[in-house]
Structure 1
Amino acid sequence: MPGVRHDIADQLLPTKMGIEITELDPKRVVATMPVEGNLQPYGLLHGGANATLAETVGSVAAALNAGEDQVALGLELSCTHHRAARSGLVTGVATPLHVGRSTSTFEIVITDEEGHRTCTARLTCIVRERPPGS
Structure 2
Amino acid sequence: MNPHIELIDRYFEAWNELDAAHRRELIASTWAADASYADPLLSGNGHDGIDAMIGAVHERFPRHTFRRTTDVDGFGNRLRFSWELRTPDGDAIVKGSDFGVVDASGRLAAVTGFLDAAPGMA
TM exceeds 0.5?
no
TM-score (norm 1): 0.35
Q: Which is higher, the Rg of structure 1 or of structure 2?
A: 1
Higher share of residues assigned helix: 2
